[in-house]
Structure 1
Amino acid sequence: MPEPRTMTINTPIVRTASAKDIEAMGKLFEAAFDEPYGAAAIADLLKPPSAWALIAETSDPEGILPVGFLIGSTAADEAEILSLGVSPGYRRKRVGVALLNFMVHHAKSKGAEKFFLEVAADNAAAIALYGAAGFKRVGLRRNYYKRRGGIFVDALILRRDSI
């Protein structure tokens, strides 16, 4: 993933992702999470008819750059964020906020009134982002995430009701 050329970015534009964005989302996932997930795994997440994805982009002197993604799923009146990632060079620049705001409107258009996600208990930045977006802790999954070196981390289950 290319590093930003300056410390400022244009306001990120969020749109519904399509099949042509899967490769970029795979690269973003690997950069955001330092895991070998890749485009094939992203494509698998998007196979169910209830799944959808968003991509955040910004402009750069060389063109449009994908800087973040969100993969979600909607069933009945509930939406779940399956994954949200932002390129490291674009964190704390409102990309995650833009993705979450777009997600709420997108999921509401599909009938969602409740929003859920899981986040690693040691991911303070993500927990702060979700808290600022109105998500509250409603549960815990012990030893849910496996880190390198055989370390396990709990997952917090967060919920937000429609406003």
Structure 2
Amino acid sequence: MPRSDVSERIFALAERVKGSPRLNRSTLMDILRDCYAEGCRYKTDEDRAALIEAITTVRQREGANRVYIMKKDAAPHALVIRAVFSSIQERSNASRYANALCQLAKMGVDPCDFSRAIARAGGITSLYWEARERTTKKMIRSKLTLSTSVEFTSGTAVSLVLMPNANGVFDVLSAQQIKMAS
């Protein structure tokens, strides 16, 4: 894959984002679809090297005096999103977009089916949370947010069985007030 072609495609996507003061939903979905299709192009290590070099070129063209650190094993979709949504204003959403596109790639979605897959999944945010679901992820909480209310009498012991969600909210599987022997 010619490196100059990669740079031009990434630069063109980035310009579409920077050219709009505020992206409407339709424009955003078009850009994300094109970012997804671009990310699907990079399958080999050589392709990934071309992508990383292209991102470096685009960032230098934008006047950046440094390029953010890119993990060598980062998903191509994440690299494309971070290059396209690189300004301070867009960066807050870049992680969500990157995780959502990576989840679509894991699901094996063809770029032609991008819009339908997003709709079936419930949107970008739903895909983002689905991508973050990890059964091995360790969570540390000092306060709990429960998905449903639990009723109990003050001053008595309560036994809860909870299931953590990726968003930090716990589903209550069971709640019992415990009678203590006197």
Output the TM-score relative to the length of structure 1.
Answer: 0.28
Answer 1 or 2: which has greater helix percent: 2
Bigger CA radius of gyration:
2
More strand as a share of residues = 1
